[in-house]
Structure 1
Amino acid sequence: MRITVCQLDNRPGHRDDALAALADHVAGAGSELVVLPELPFSDWLAADAAVDPARWQSSVEEHDAAVERLGRLGAAAVIASRPIVGSTGSRRNQAFVWTPAAGATGIREKHYLPDEPGFWEATWYDPGDLSFDLCHAGEARAGVQLCTELWFLEWARHYGREGAEVLCLPRATPYESLDKWLAGGRTAAVCSGAYSVSSNQWSPGGSGLDCGGLGWVIDPDGTVLATTGPDEPFVTVDADLTVARTAKTTYPRYVREQPERGSAEEPFRP
């Protein structure tokens, strides 16, 4: 399966050109799955702690309009996230998968929310339910963790047990911690036995949003296959999904948790 990741220039006035360039790359690479960054189609609202419902609604509308144009990318499946407003008025960050036949289908909503300068997410919107469901992205079974959720590695292991072949990680992460995020992506791949694939928002250093790019594709044993950079904002890798299926039977994925001593499942033996 040909998988494309990116670092997408999210500066006002640059976003449309970046998406057009991505579409050209996808066409040339024959991409089947494209993973986009977290909330990629409007300004990053959580940079400011002052919540403005009107700005949230504007972001919802910008994302809705961009989702309607995802067919221009020419991929069989696209995974990203979008802002939504629930029936009770609750604001959420929803992971979705887009296909030409079904359009955008919600998968799950971001549960683990940071709240600090530049990333006032818990201030801006509500956490989703604690659910980490698989989706189908083209021929792949995919799990999705949105940015901060990468660090809750129990869910990477959960996705591996559920048979995920691809672990999609849309991000909006800063320059100073890129090495840490790549280390987390490698660990998530090993925990899940799935390809770890991530795209990040990007702005030139000192210009606009502090997001440093570095998209990646990592194989199920933690080997980095490709990364993006300022001179190569899009990369595509031909991922053999049978490698991910086989990885579930190898170390450390085959190791099962044992019941604690003294539990009902295993009588205590001194």
Structure 2
Amino acid sequence: MKVTFVELPENLQADSPKWEDKKQLIQLEKSDVLLTNEMPFGRWLFDKAEYDAVTASDVIRENELGVEALKKLELPVVLSSRPIQHDSKLANEAFALINGVYHRAHRKQYFPDEPGFYEAAWFKGDQSGFEVINIGQVSVGFMLCTEVMFSEWARAYRRQGAHLIVVPRSTEQNVEKWKTAASLAAIVSGCYVVSSNRAGRFSDDITFGGHGFAFAPDGTLIAETSATNPIVSFELDIDLVQHQQRQFPCYVKEPNL
């Protein structure tokens, strides 16, 4: 199974020349699975500390158009996320497009609350938890950006039989802590862990850092994206996952506390 991960530009619009350029490059990969960054379309609007309903409607609409653009890639599987209305705030909903059909996969449960990233003011979680979604023979678990910092959920996905954990991100230029967290998620789960990120300047204070990456089931780095190589692919080996999940520390049983 060929898996592609990317870095896509800030304020990407579904009807823009930038998207057309990325679309052509993505299609050249002839991938089985494409992973985008978190909420890949539209401006980053969550630098404001107070929720605004009009702004929220705008970003919902931009990403609705984005979902339609992703369908037009005509890939077997696209993994991504989008904002949707949820009570008085938004939910960040991960989804899979499987042969163009939308399947809800997960809603983000952990939110940062700091300058540039006031997601706690804009989003809320729910009780949907962390459940795998099946794409053919591969079981996938989502950890949306901040969630990768909580590796207990990577291990929970392992117990559900996951082969691949995906981490759509919108993060700044310091990538090392994200790579450390992703590597640990791979080590404790025995899964491939793959991340795509937003890239480019948003404001004087925030520049999104790009650097999508993929880690093997033993936690070693496979590859990264860069500004000059923003679309990267690798072959996922299910046999390797199954082997690694029989090794330490994956086989260690949960304590009966």
Q: Given residue 113 of structure 2, which amino acid in structure 1 is its aligned partner?
A: D
RMSD across aligned C-alpha pairs, in angstroms?
2.0
| Kept after mapping to 2: 8 A contact 1:76/1:100 | yes
SS in 2 for 1:186: helix
Alignment partners' CA distance in 1, 2:203 and 2:119: 22
Alignment partner, residue 218 of structure 1: 215
Q: Given residue 107 of structure 1, which amino acid in structure 2 is its aligned partner?
A: A
- Give runs of aligned pairs for residues 158-177 of structure 1, distance below 5 A: 158-175=156-173, 177=174
Max radius of gyration: which structure? 1
Alpha-carbon shift at residue 43 of structure 1 (Å): 1.0
Deviation digits for residues 62-117 of structure 1, max 9, x if unmatched? 1111111212323211111111113x444211111112252x22112110111000
Alignment partners' CA distance in 1, 2:51 and 2:147: 22
Distance 1:208 1:116, change over 3 A: closer
- Give runs of aligned pairs for residues 183-262 of structure 1, distance below 5 A: 183-204=180-201, 209-260=206-257
Alignment partners' CA distance in 1, 2:204 and 2:33: 30
Q: Given residue 94 of structure 1, which amino acid in structure 2 is its aligned partner?
A: E
Distance 1:62 1:168, change over 3 A: same
Q: Given residue 145 of structure 1, which amino acid in structure 2 is its aligned partner?
A: M
Alignment partners' CA distance in 2, 1:139 and 1:15: 34
Q: Given residue 103 of structure 2, which amino acid in structure 1 is its aligned partner?
A: T
| Structure with more strand by fraction | 2
| Kept after mapping to 1: 8 A contact 2:158/2:190 | yes
| Kept after mapping to 2: 8 A contact 1:8/1:18 | no
| Kept after mapping to 2: 8 A contact 1:134/1:164 | yes
Alignment partner, residue 125 of structure 2: 127
- Give runs of aligned pairs for residues 25-174 of structure 1, distance below 5 A: 25-86=25-86, 88-102=87-101, 104-129=102-127, 131-174=129-172
Deviation digits for residues 30-85 of structure 1, max 9, x if unmatched? 21111111111111111222321111111111111111121232321111111111
Alignment partners' CA distance in 1, 2:161 and 2:207: 35
Alignment partners' CA distance in 2, 1:80 and 1:41: 11
TM-score of the superposed pair, with normalisation by structure 1:
0.88
Alignment partner, residue 268 of structure 1: none
Q: Given residue 29 of structure 1, which amino acid in structure 2 is its aligned partner?
A: E
Q: Which runs of 5+ in 1 are unaligned?
A: 261-270
Alignment partners' CA distance in 1, 2:82 and 2:202: 25
Distance 1:161 1:108, change over 3 A: same
| Kept after mapping to 2: 8 A contact 1:200/1:215 | yes
Alpha-carbon shift at residue 256 of structure 1 (Å): 0.8
SS in 1 for 2:60: helix
Distance 1:5 1:101, change over 3 A: closer
| Kept after mapping to 2: 8 A contact 1:8/1:15 | no
| Kept after mapping to 2: 8 A contact 1:173/1:211 | yes
Alpha-carbon shift at residue 257 of structure 1 (Å): 2.2
TM-score of the superposed pair, with normalisation by structure 2:
0.93
Aligned residues: 257
SS in 2 for 1:46: coil
SS in 1 for 2:208: coil
SS in 1 for 2:16: helix
Q: Given residue 133 of structure 2, which amino acid in structure 1 is its aligned partner?
A: C
Alpha-carbon shift at residue 20 of structure 1 (Å): 2.5
Q: Which runs of 5+ in 2 are unaligned?
A: none
Alignment partners' CA distance in 1, 2:108 and 2:153: 13
Alignment partners' CA distance in 2, 1:15 and 1:122: 30
SS in 2 for 1:211: strand
Alignment partners' CA distance in 1, 2:73 and 2:135: 15
Distance 1:13 1:132, change over 3 A: closer
Distance 1:138 1:4, change over 3 A: farther
| Kept after mapping to 2: 8 A contact 1:205/1:212 | no
SS in 2 for 1:105: strand
Alignment partners' CA distance in 1, 2:242 and 2:116: 38
Alignment partners' CA distance in 1, 2:103 and 2:51: 27
